Amino acid sequence: MYKGKKVIAVLPAYNAALTLEQTYNEIPFDIVDEVILCDDASNDNTIEVAKKIGIQHCIRHEVNKGYGGNQKTLYNKALELKGDIVIMLHPDYQYTPKLIPAMVNIIGDELYPVVLGSRILGIGALKGGMPLYKYIANRFLTFTQNLLVNYKLSEYHTGYRAFSKEVLENINFNSNSDDFVFDNEMLSQIIYAKYSIAEVTCPTKYFEEASSINLVRSTKYGLGVLRVSFCHFLQRIGIAKFKMYQKPN
């Protein structure tokens, strides 16, 4: 716990058997109370590894629900377990668990209700192996999004995120896509609801075992991001209303 607040790490897993134990072993359990892993119908033995290393809550989707669908299961379970601070950590070891204390401190001390681990702050993204086309796309999309949603972040595309319970309870994340654009929709909802977002510099690591999406999926994601940003803009100026910005029932 951190100052009486229950801390839960959630791991959206897909074919993560080779990197899961390394990720899990670096989680700071002096702060993190519980870990939830959701295996999204992996083709490997991710769920067996998760149980073997002692993850308390292991969930398996028998049919692949997608990256967004995986997160929905995890956040709903974290709220069911009464988590006060919830950190999403990818089990592919692309993001270091060593940043968890800093992210928990920021939320636990009520400085910000949302924290992102940014790969773009500083100069480490390309040095850490981010493909050049992904870096360029990241910068273009982020610039466009900052204009349309009237906010300023260094990037909207990191998968390393921490949330207060209040944020998860008050945004309609269950209405979002089950695909990769879920992450972007969630940030759009958070900004529209006027929650402040902090960013911390996160080392970038790209290697063979780390999860990544190919060019076709990246292009689909980029188009989805632009759609979300334009929807946010139309909602913000009062021209249209979208279900995703309604409060959950």
Question: Which residue from 64, 165, 35 is spatially nearest to 107, judged by alpha carbons?
Answer: 165
Condensed to tens digits (0 to 9), the pLDDT of residues 217-229 reads 788 888 999 999 9
Confirm if 167 and 83 have CB atoms less than 8 A apart. Answer: no
Higher pLDDT: 127 or 163? It is 163
In three state form, how does the secondary structure of 131-186 look? CHHHHHHHHHHHHHHHHHHCCCCCCCCCCCEEEEHHHHHHCCHHHCCCCCCHHHHH
Average pLDDT over residues 139-155: 94
Provide the Cα torsion 131, 132, 135, 137; round to 10°.
Answer: -110
> How far out from the chain centre does Cα 172 lie?
15
pLDDT at 84 over 60: yes
Local confidence band at 134 (pLDDT 50, 70, 90 cut-offs):
confident
Selecting from 3.90.550.10, 3.40.50.1370, 1.10.3720.10, 3.40.50.1970, what CATH number does the domain 7-245 have?
A: 3.90.550.10
Average pLDDT over residues 230-241: 95
State whether residue 37 is helix, strand or coil. strand
Condensed to tens digits (0 to 9), the pLDDT of residues 16-74 reads 999 999 999 999 999 999 999 999 999 999 999 999 999 999 999 999 999 999 999 99
Helices and strands in the chain, H and E counts: 9, 7
Question: Which residue from 199, 203, 197, 198 is spatially nearest to 119, judged by alpha carbons?
Answer: 203
User: pLDDT at position 203, please?
Assistant: 84
Condensed to tens digits (0 to 9), the pLDDT of residues 183-207 reads 999 999 999 999 999 999 988 776 5
Angle of the 182-192 helix axis to the 66-80 helix axis, nearest 10: 50
Angle of the 132-149 helix axis to the 215-236 helix axis, nearest 10: 10
Q: Where are the domains of the chain?
A: 7-245
CA distance 245 to 189: 6
How big is the chain by its Cα radius of gyration, in Å? 17
